[in-house]
Amino acid sequence: MKTTIPGVSFSAVVLCAALFAFSPRSLPAFAATSIHASNVQVNGIARAGSRLVAVGERGVILISDNDGAAWREAQVSPAAGTTLTQVFFISARIGIAVGHQGLIVRSEDGGEHWREVRTDAQRPDPLLSVWGDDQGQVFAAGSFGQLLVSRNAGLTWQELEAPAGDHHLNGIVGDGKGRLVIAGESGMLLRSLDNGATWQKRSVPYEGSLFGALILANGDWIAYGMRGHVLRSSDHGDTWTNAEGGLGASYFGGAQRDDGELVLVGQGGAIVTSRDSGKTFAVRSAGGAQSLAAVLDLGRGVLALGGDLGVTVGSGPPPAPEASSPANCGTSPKCS
């Protein structure tokens, strides 16, 4: 049965800012810091060279040049105030962020300044994910089967045909070698082996929503989503098997650390890690009042996580929320 996602604002990939010490080694001292920015929710975090860039609601883009010790707002023109859902840098200077109303903004100076390059008043459905390669080809995926491509590093865009119907496409990622995978609702999983020229729907052993995907350093593919479901493929998406996800909480963000460890984050502060390429997961944190939307490895045992409290980075335990409430998955309609 198709997963329903109420309201047009379903693209807020969930909210939270928290951190957990994942490494079994003793970590260097690193004071946790957070940016509230009027309680802005952060949906995506990326590296632009040595800079951190985070995007979120009301079109806010935050940048840090000291690994999250201090943050400031980037300049976006025009300042439309439209929620941004994800960000990706194809080089240290060129970045693309996507969001509601089909919005795409682009930076050529490492995230300091952004310019609107696309919006769609006729189809204001959210774009939910973006990925590109170092050759300047960029893909954006979103609600109701939207799939766009740019062949000139995000300057202009065109629609692609994909066998997605009206299913929401939640996450796209590639390996830089012509292979790409898209995770979507109702067990929708698309694959391309020819750099996005053609797409095939793959059969997976799960019919619920998948919120994201990862291509690991060893070539394995991971898809994660609703109620702790994690899928694995070791043959570039030909076949998929269920993995042991560790929790029944939904996962909304993932990353592979520089030491190979896989980290998934999500509902109710869920943080799980895997050291066997996603075959099994260990629970590091669960049962919180907030939910996590994005995770980025900063190296040295330090992670950055984003959500409704902005961005938190550090090597200590997550800060406690100011007011307690039952564990939930935030206000994101993806939790339904």
CATH number of the domain within which 254 lies: 2.130.10.10
The answer to whether residue 2 is domain-embedded is no
The answer to whether residue 305 is domain-embedded is yes
The answer to whether residue 152 is domain-embedded is yes
The answer to whether residue 222 is domain-embedded is yes
CA-CA-CA-CA torsion sign (214, 57, 150, 226): positive
Give residue 75's pLDDT: 96
Q: Which residues contact 324 (CB under 8 A, 6 or more apart)?
A: 289
Give the domain range for residue 116: 8-335
Query: What's the structural domain count of the chain?
Result: 1
The answer to whether residue 85 is domain-embedded is yes
- Count the Cβ atoms, other than its own, within 10 Å of residue 328: 16
The answer to whether residue 1 is domain-embedded is no
Q: Residue 35 and residue 27: Cα distance in Å, rounded?
A: 23
For the chain, residues with pLDDT lower than 70 are 1-39, 314-336
Give residue 158's pLDDT: 96
Give residue 16's pLDDT: 33
Give residue 287's pLDDT: 79
The answer to whether residue 3 is domain-embedded is no
* pTM exceeds 0.85 for this model: no
Give residue 31's pLDDT: 44
pLDDT in tens, 156-177: 999 999 999 999 999 999 999 9
Cis peptide before 326 (omega within 30 of 0): no
Give residue 184's pLDDT: 97
